[in-house]
Amino acid sequence: MPGTPPIRIVVVDDHPLFVRGLELLLPAITDKRAEVVGSTGDAASAASLVSRCLPDLALVDLRMPPPGGIRAVAAIRRTTPRVRVVAMSGGDDPAPALEALRAGAEGYLPKTSEPEELLPPLLAILDGWAVLPSGLLRGLLRPARTPSVDLDAEERRLLQVIAAGKSTLEIADHLHVSERTVKRMTAALLRKLRVSTRAEAAALAGHAGLLGGTNPNGA
């Protein structure tokens, strides 16, 4: 919207061409709704850079030299907990993505994503929701045992739309309830699943095979 401040982003990545590409492309493809305000290729200095810049989002590459992207995620969450952290990687192994979620990342995006596709998930993460590729959800581990909880139909619907990265307003519209009710239902679901974040809930759902066969956009 006109007059809305741009999304301020810090990039933690040791590939200069990738970083420069985001610096050039993000403002152009988002109509200046997103911009890179700082970057570093040193995972050890990521937290201090984020503390200085105080961005809205930090994009962290998981495949970095020691101490590595996972520790960078954890350090950022520890020092600047209000900054949303998005993990990124060019690999297909789901294990680092799961570690990043456990370290505090609110979402995961493959580095193969087209630049034009970045804004919607970033906005969803800023709104407080987890964003994970559907393939990652299904591929974290093969479906094994379901969690030791019994989810009813409404809870399963809520879990799926959370995993799909829907905004608070979109979930409220989808479930025909208020935004306050969505937040209350989400808090109850997290307690029932014994997880602390929506990202962990989404990963748990993918691991347990709870998302197959349901269309979050259907009636």
**Which residue is it, tokens 């570093």?**
40
Q: Which fold has domain 139-208?
A: Arc Repressor Mutant, subunit A (1.10.10)
- Whole-angstrom CA distances from 44 to 39, 50, 82, 116, 216 are 13, 12, 19, 30, 40
Dihedral of CA atoms 161, 164, 169, 175 in degrees, nearest 10, equals -20
**Which residue is it, tokens 């970057």?**
39
> 36 with 19: CB under 8 angstroms?
yes
At residue 139 the predicted structure's pLDDT band, cuts being 50, 70 and 90, is low
Residue 152: the pLDDT is 85
> What does the alpha-carbon distance between residue 11 and residue 69 come to, in Å, rounded to a whole number?
11
Sheet architecture: strand order including 7-12: 34-40, 7-12, 57-61, 84-89, 107-110
At residue 163 the predicted structure's pLDDT band, cuts being 50, 70 and 90, is confident
What are the tokens at 116?
């034009």
| Residue 143 confidence (pLDDT) above 50 | no
Burial class (CB in 10 A: 0-12, 13-18, 19+), 4: exposed
Q: Which residues contact 177 (CB under 8 A, 6 or more apart)?
A: 185
At residue 192 the predicted structure's pLDDT band, cuts being 50, 70 and 90, is confident
Residue 174: the pLDDT is 86
> 38 with 52: CB under 8 angstroms?
yes
What are the tokens at 198?
């929506």
At residue 140 the predicted structure's pLDDT band, cuts being 50, 70 and 90, is low
pTM across the whole model? 0.64
Q: What angle do CA 119, 117, 160 make, to 5 degrees?
A: 85
- CA-nearest of 49, 71, 50 to 61 is 71
At residue 141 the predicted structure's pLDDT band, cuts being 50, 70 and 90, is very low
Q: Where are the domains of the chain?
A: 7-126, 139-208
Residue 2: the pLDDT is 57
Q: Which fold has domain 7-126?
A: Rossmann fold (3.40.50)
DSSP 85: E
- Give the DSSP per-residue string, 88-150: EESS--HHHHHHHHHHT-SEEEETTS-GGGSHHHHHHHHTT--B--HHHHHHSS---SPPSS-
What are the tokens at 109?
């995006």
